[in-house]
Chains A and B, each alone.
Chain A
Amino acid sequence: MTCRFLPAVFTRYFLPFRYMLRSGILSISGILLLSGLLGQQLPAQDAAASRIDFGRDIRPILSNNCFRCHGPDDEKREADLRLDSFENATRDLGGHSAIKPGDVHASLALQRILSTDPDQKMPPESTGLKLTVREVELLKQWVQQGAEYQQHWAFRPIARPPEPAIDSKGISSGWPVNAIDRFVFAKLAPLNIQPSPEADRTTLIRRVYLDLTGLPPTVEDVERFVSDTSPDAYTTMVDHALASPHYGERWGRHWLDQARYADTNGYTIDSERSLWPFRDWVIRALNSDMPFDQFTVEQLAGDLLPQPTLDQLVASGFHRNTLINEEGGTDDEQFRNEAVVDRVNTTGAVWLGLTVGCAQCHTHKYDPLSHREYYQLFAFFNQGQDINTTEPVVQVPTTEQAQQLSEMEQKVADAKAAVAEYEDGSVTGSQLVDWTVVSVDSITSIGGALFETLEDQSLLASADNMANEKYTITFRSPRKNITAIRLETLTHPSLPANGPGRADNGNFVLNELTLQAQPQPATATATATATATATATATAPGDALHASWMYATADHSQRDYAVADAVDGKQETGWAINVPSGSLNVNRTAIFVMKVLPVSEGSQITVEMFFGPKPPAYNLGRFRLSVTSAPHSCLDVPDEERARLLAAQKSLEDARKNLTSQIPTTLIMGDLKTPRETNILVRGDFLRKGDVVQPAVPAVFPPLAEQGSGQPAENSETAASVRATRLDLARWLVDGRNPLTARVTVNRIWARYFGQGLVETENDFGLQGTPPTHPELLDWLASEFMQQGWSLKKLHRLIVTSATYRQSSNQRPDLRNSDPLNKLLARQVRLRVDAEVVRDLGLAVSGLLNNRIGGASVYPPQPDGVYAFTQRNAAWPVSQGADRYRRGLYTFFMRSAPYPMLTTFDTPRFDTTCTMRIRSNTPLQSLAMANDQSMLEIARALGKRIQHLSEGDSQSDGQGDSQRIQFAFRICFARPARPAEAQRLTAFLERLRQDLQSTPEEAAQVAGVETKADGSTSDTNVVESAAWTLLARTLLNLDEFIVRE
């Protein structure tokens, strides 16, 4: 960076360019300025007796010419000489010193400055710097008067100067209204300059409305104010505007500029992010007149406040407006570092009005901010969890969503409880299944097999082995309420290949298994019958119960021979156990689960097993049966009821997820639990780490009041971790002892009303900045601001109700020479409104405006092809309905391709903080106003509004026209048209009518009316509509339309 002044040759070439900054980023030397304007304050060149003021007269000379080599920066210091403090400048350098108070001849620095020897002369010729005769004279006088150093004005504590007494004789009527006017007039009076008269009421109300709300007053608003004869008509009007919810939008936009708010991540991919809840928080906070100190703390450290509210977390999004680079192959640490740098620089610019960024690479050349101190500030912001990432975020439900969510949470909880309750009720006793091996009473075979009961109660088949076999087994139930039967198929040496089946390879195919039972044990008489005939149609007692299978499982099933096939009611399918590799001749277990079979202990149960109808035979060789009453839940059975309950729970959970996904999120700040170490970065390079530093504020300022607030409790207990936090820094910024925050804030607000601040370099209150034109007024306002509890609305009211503010903005020939920059504030200024307000004005006057406040950003129509030049052909889902006509500040802001209308009118890109916008005046603006689709829509709507003012007037009735033109003027400019203006518009209208008459198709195009096949249109008088559209277009394109007068 170059922090030096430019040589004169450059100045010569570049002076004339009118289009350069209008934003107060100027650095005209205070001396020069004051010498021209406020000559009475300065020591006249020959008035040796007058007192030199160090800050006003000397420091700029030293700062501009000497400090680069003899200032605070250790690395660039020459000859080990510092001229930036009394101690250093007067230090004994071996019998002499650079500055010897009271003695020019003994002051070496002066002698070098006065030297004619090119090798001796200071500043050296190579720097291109040269002191003027006058500057040298001032330095001499200063040394003679004692070479007093004073602290830079902006770093001194804010004192409350007394309001100057002014002579009320000869002052303009209406002056003074409040203290502001006394301070302003105190500067005017000695110069015999009168303030400008108050602007007329139509100008005043439009000025106040545009300044406070960014919207024009309605015709009714204007009429009410103009006809209000009460003495407090003006303050009533101001209070009305201040109470408008649109105040938060207008001043929120100013703040969002400083917060560098945008809707995308920046850099190349530049994808969408959700941070608009932060934007809405700003609007709400301002509308509720949140005190500026609280406003500050919540944004800089809302996340560190004790038990932060959702609002406070959202507020902490201020510093999440930094860029995120999503490009492939990036080093996240590099971009994390850049985000932190931006946070430091933004905080410095917004609250301190200092160019702290200058110290990122080296000690500040002019201001008392060392390279080390920069990284001490950096350390406050170096603790973030975000590492070039979107996280951390927080959900921000609307009231309605919060309500729905809470209802949904309850429903999910209920569903979970229902599942738990069901499971509790259905699970009894041990989770282990208690199987009872059954003692078989009888077993028969229709194919001639014979059975042997082995010691383990298993049955072993022998003898005939025929196809189409059926085994029928009966036994008495060892338990009541059977829930499952287990079939163990077992190997035996007597079987082919050891079994367990009787096929050649030892396999079997159990085609079907059935089970039925008597509900009650048979009576003594019945028993015999039952045992004798084990058929399903046994007579008694009660009807037979048939197992209703729910589920089957086995430790192995052959492919295409699933165990479930044994209970599917089909003879064609069955369970088998061959294996693709290894041996099939191992024991296997199948479990068949049924609905609870309400049998009693001792009830007779009959099991039938069917084997393949066709040869070869695949009968079972050895097996054993067991039963259990274990609950289904223990049997791993898909439980329909449970499944139903779980499904209900899942669908509710899905609904909750769906609801949650609709809840907007917003990026917030969050610090790491374990602090990150901060190093000085050599030359600002994140790869070159220097000394470790701790968070601290620069030494030139009062110290932090607190240290360690907002740290997690476990951290704050250890002494080593009592490190200052972001919260400490935020509180320090709005501590009454901080000399800058209040001054910077009131100055910036002042600048929005007068086009420039009392300190013209509103973002540089350092030594290179311009001194205030009205230092006492600045300090008084800063002090008043704090005294009024940091209330922004009170500050606005104070300024807006002053006579100074109410002056006419017309240029004054009598001041052209004496005050061309309007430093004396003897008039108001005309200011072109900001880009968003250009749009708002159009929407408001045409009646299209949807004045809904807040919500996700919207996509008004934009010209095609905006993305032809971006990497990502981003979607621009043009908003339909009312969202098409939202205020400009709600327009989706894509950093890599912002809405054209906005950038055309100087909305910055928000890659970094913008404390004051540029105001340019270009042909592209003309094209946008004249031809943009949105503006055409607005022109048509406005045209219609004017045209239909008074139905019944004949179309070309001259009187009707003139009424309409007057009405149009009132809508657009809040004032009536002057005769010459009305005349010009009438002539224009007449010509349009004649011209359009001959080309009805073109008239239809202008009016936006469909032409039917037969040439007719839905609009009965399309020429009239077109003429009024074009007249409206003309009004929208007048300079006055987009200017606050």
Chain B
Amino acid sequence: MNVHSDENSLREITRRHLFRDCRLGLGAIALGSLLKNEQAQAATELAGPLTARATHHPPKAKAVIYLFMAGGPSQLDLFADKPLLRKHHGQQPPKEFMEGKRFAFLKGTESLLGSAQRFAKYGECGQELSHQLPCHQKIVDDVCWLNGMKTDVFNHGPAKLFINTGSPQPGRPSMGSWVTYGIGSESNNLPGFVVLQSGPRGPRAGASLWSSGFLPTVHQGVPFRSGPEPILNLTSPAGVTRDRERQFVDAVSDLNRLKADVVGDPEIQTRISAYEMAYRMQSSAPELMDLSGEPQHVLDLYGATPGKPSFANNCLLARRMVERGVRFVQLYHTSWDHHGGPTENIEKHLPEMCKDVDQASAALILDLKQQGMLEDTIVVWGGEFGRTPMGEVREASGRDHHIDAYTMWVAGGGFKPGLVFGRSDDLGLSVVDGLTHVHDLQATILHQLGLNHARLTYRFQGRDFRLTDVHGRVVHEVLT
């Protein structure tokens, strides 16, 4: 009833996996040396698919928390004061500025929209912030400001896919999947890549944003929902107590081992391990999600209330996940899509969104710093694109999607704190300095995790795919 005695033979069998699993350039390696490494390889295999593992180069960071501002926040109302825009408010932008630019909804007749927000420069770095983000003043020198962001596509779905997967079409693995594929996970009772959601609805493009694409599904982002069952099917059926579940897992394992004795397939051992981990997740996930044990001052820092789903709760949960070894946590908050309609305008809804995220975003940085976790945790803040200097002609003030110049910020994990990097022109139409393309940001994040974006590839349908497609440059200027 026990195949452990047979583990050595299982390890031998796993050479099959070795061959089948590595789609990589074995051509360069002689068969003999492969066989020599067999023991070590087999050991890793038996340890499980998400085992933490070696990187291309020494990593600066070991986890990522990505605060995804779904819809595209207006950099011109939050991070970039443009007096010239106010001066020419109501005028059409100069033609030569507009050449070659594409927009989703603008018809070409829209005029410039000066920001109504009050701006000032803060901290030693002097980053501009509008009065809508008061708490950001506290972290202004902890954060690396990327004011020269640029993306390629101007519709929500494709743009969200682009920053997550490097491609505007669905079907590619997302960054979190690439990361767990590249370096595994440090948690043995939680998924390596977790997704959280707050705001009125889920982000556009849905699950393809955290899909593992052609990578094995073990790398797929696992959505954690608020409530008692954060993971689908986590809870045992009614009447199945913890003890009965243990008996069940034991019976399943024993019977699986009996089968393995006969057929000798190492996949059975993997399945036995999977049931054990599922069993552990049943207690670890609810424990993780339960904020009631957090001290009041921490809850106050975030503005979190146990049991009441919010962006603030999710920020705190993200910290708890990273503490427990989760590699990549992505928080979506909807929606920043302020076009100017009755339910999506700058006057009313932008301030509401800011209120939702300002305090908790800052709190996350302060908390991580205090816990000594910021050093090796990368926190990313931003949307799929920015918003246009031109206003849209709708019921109230709003701006269209802008892909040529917007702001994101990154903190921790070896990104230079208090660096203001990149600048757009005086109207905010194009980047004039410190351009950071989405692929560059992806390459840089991978770099800090110890991964070379050009070498983190996966062969699918005859092609070696990577997160950054054939592009991307590590932006060393923003790294310590």
Contacts and interface: CB of A to CB of B under 8 A. Distances in A.
B7 to A, nearest CB: 14
A401 interface: no
Contact of A927 (B42, B54, B231, B268): B231
Given A15-B18, A809-B263, A357 B28 contact: no
A358 interface: yes
Nearest to A130: B28
A739 interface: no
A992 interface: yes
A1005 B455 contact: no
Contacts of A1045: 263
A266 B208 CA distance: 10
Nearest to A914: B214
A323 B168 CA distance: 13
B278 interface: yes
Interface in A1002-1025: 1002-1007
B342 interface: no
Interface string B192-234: 0001010001111111100100101110101101010001111
B92 interface: no
A1039 B462 contact: no
Nearest to B16: A820
Contacts of B103: 329
B50 to A, nearest CB: 8
A310 interface: no
B97 interface: no
B454 A325 contact: no
Nearest to B200: A873
B461 A869 contact: no
Contacts of A1040: 256, 259
A927 B230 CA distance: 13
A32 B248 contact: no
Interface string A923-948: 11111101110001000000000000
Nearest to A2: B464
Task: State the main secondary structure of chain A at its contact with B.
Answer: loop
Interface string A9-36: 1110111111111100111110110011
Contacts of B89: none
Task: State the main secondary structure of chain B at its contact with A.
Answer: mixed
Contact of A20 (B22, B171, B268): B22
Interface in B1-26: 1, 9, 12-26
B256 A1039 contact: yes
A267 B464 contact: no
Given A3-B464, A920-B216, A1034-B255, A266 B170 contact: yes
Nearest to A813: B9
A953 interface: no
A816 interface: yes
Interface in A395-439: none
B457 to A, nearest CB: 6
A876 interface: no
Most buried by A among B14, B49, B332: B49
B204 A25 contact: no
Interface in A161-208: none
A922 B41 contact: no
Contacts of B12: 816-817
B237 interface: yes
Contact of A13 (B13, B29, B54, B258): B54
A90 interface: no
Contacts of B217: 903-904, 906, 918, 920, 922, 924
Contacts of B45: 16-18
Nearest to A354: B462
Nearest to B46: A18
A327 B155 contact: yes
Given A869-B195, A931-B234, A984 B258 contact: yes
Nearest to A991: B247
Given A358-B463, A936-B237, A981 B202 contact: no
A932 B234 CA distance: 9
Interface stretch (A456-464, A472-480, A559-567, A892-900): A892-900
Contact of A863 (B31, B55, B232, B470): B232
Contacts of B266: 18
Contact of B201 (A9, A756, A763, A871): A871
A25 B201 contact: no
Contacts of A9: 56, 455
B157 A268 contact: yes
Interface stretch (A51-59, A530-538, A579-587, A764-772): A764-772
A125 B111 CA distance: 54
Contacts of B56: 9-10, 13
Which size class do B's interface residues fall under? Answer: 35 or more
Interface residues of A, number: 132
Contacts of B235: 931
Given A27-B23, A32-B27, A766 B462 contact: yes
B104 interface: yes
Given A2-B464, A930-B236, A267 B157 contact: yes
A1006 B270 CA distance: 28
A266 B251 CA distance: 42
B24 A11 contact: yes
Most buried by A among B19, B235, B469: B19
Contacts of B21: 15-22, 26
Interface in A802-843: 809-811, 813, 816-817, 820-822, 830, 832
Contact of A810 (B201, B233, B262, B282): B262
A830 B223 contact: no
A328 B18 CA distance: 47
Contacts of B201: 870-873
B27 A60 contact: yes
A761 interface: yes
Most buried by A among B236, B268, B278: B278
A653 interface: no
Contacts of A373: none
B381 interface: no
A761 B23 CA distance: 10
Contacts of B356: none
Given A21-B23, A26-B459, A2 B233 contact: no
B464 A6 contact: yes
Interface stretch (B76-84, B238-246, B321-329, B441-449): B238-246
B268 A903 contact: no
Contacts of B320: none
B247 A981 contact: no
A329 B275 contact: no
Most buried by A among B22, B169, B214: B22
B281 to A, nearest CB: 6
Most buried by A among B156, B201, B252, B470: B252
A920 B44 CA distance: 17
B254 interface: yes
Interface string A377-399: 00000000000000000000000
Interface of A: 1-11, 13-22, 25-29, 31-32, 35-36, 60, 64, 130, 132, 266-268, 270, 323, 325, 327-331, 338, 349, 354-355, 357-358, 756, 761, 763-764, 766, 768-769, 809-811, 813, 816-817, 820-822, 830, 832, 863, 865-873, 895-898, 900, 903-904, 906, 909, 911-912, 915, 918, 920-928, 930-932, 936, 978, 980-981, 984-985, 988, 991-992, 995, 999, 1001-1007, 1026, 1030, 1033-1034, 1037-1040, 1043, 1045
Nearest first, the 4 closest Cβ-Cβ pairs linking A and B are: A329-B104, A1005-B239, A896-B206, A764-B462
Given A20-B21, A329-B154, 7 more contacts: A270-B206, A331-B102, A768-B462, A820-B16, A870-B206, A984-B254, A1043-B267
25 contacts: A2-B457, A6-B464, A9-B56, A15-B37, A17-B44, A18-B21, A21-B23, A268-B156, A328-B104, A329-B103, A355-B462, A811-B13, A811-B264, A832-B267, A868-B202, A870-B206, A896-B205, A900-B232, A909-B171, A925-B274, A930-B275, A931-B235, A999-B239, A1002-B239, A1039-B267
